[in-house]
Amino acid sequence: MNIFKREVKLKLVSALIWSVSIFGIIILFMSVYSAFTQSTDMIDIIMQNYPKELLQAFGMSGVDIGSVVGYFTMCMVFVQLTLAVQSSIYGFSILSEEERDMTADFLLTRPVTRTRVFLSKTWAAFCALLITWAFTIGSTFLNVELFRAGKDYDVAILVKMTGFMILFQLFFFSVGMLVSVILKKIKSVLPYAMGLSFGMYMISTVGSIIGEDTLGYITPFKYFEPNFLIINGNYDTLMVAICCSVILVAMVSSYILYIRRNIHSAS
């Protein structure tokens, strides 16, 4: 039984659907960039009259949204939310789906170890996330080139903005997986995935509005904040280190709990 191939086949269509969705979000935003920049003076007036808290909530404070990369930060909010939901769904479902679908008996009575099951399923989900990540990078640069209206942009910033998204995805995936092995049974992964994704986003938003930096250490939306990258040229090293640590701890903990877990059978 090749668990990895089976899981990849199951995840491939899903990964492509998420990828197409992200492409649609990016092209929707970037296709109106040319028209957006034709009213620069009006944009400046609107931005000046926007509440500071609202600009901070949407990650637009301190950046020139008339520039290509500055404008793209508005799109990145929705791209990040989409990636967070996808990664969370994979995380919550990858180890719990056998129990939920009553196929755990069949899988775990085969001549395979739980370690192999864990690694095969995790690696398959990671490959699906890689596909979406690659599509996100490709979609970003394709649409920026098509709709940048002849304006130059900082390629290095855009590379960092999209390149680090794999860590963003792995954060939600690993945390979702850890929660799934802690809970006895998950009947539906969507409420959990939406709760984790939008919960983290709301924590980031509230932290930005009230100016509470401590909340930023909890959520990856703050670790990979686009406007911080544009202003400083790099992400906060401490924040990236925290993200990597959470991923590592969550993955290792998920493995330990899974191999010791009392799997509920169909009977």
pLDDT score at 173: 97
Strand, coil or helix: 95: coil
Q: Is 90 exceeded by the pLDDT of residue 101?
A: no
Tell me the CA end-to-end span of the chain in Å, nearest whole number. 23
Average pLDDT for residues 171-181, to the nearest whole number? 95
Bigger pLDDT: 112 or 17? Answer: 17
Bigger pLDDT: 85 or 44? Answer: 85
pLDDT score at 266: 47
- Mean pLDDT computed over every residue of the chain: 85
Q: Which helix (H) or strand (E) holds 92?
A: helix 68-94
pLDDT, tens digit, 9 for 90 and up, residues 194-249: 999 999 999 988 887 777 678 888 999 999 988 889 888 899 999 999 999 999 99
Percent of the chain with pLDDT over 70: 82
Report the C-alpha gap between 188 and 38 in whole angstroms. Answer: 47
pLDDT tier for residue 91 given thresholds of 50, 70 and 90: very high
Average pLDDT for residues 75-86, to the nearest whole number? 94
Q: Residue 134, Cα to own-chain centre: how many angstroms?
A: 13
Report the C-alpha gap between 204 and 219 in whole angstroms. Answer: 6
Average pLDDT for residues 253-258, to the nearest whole number? 92
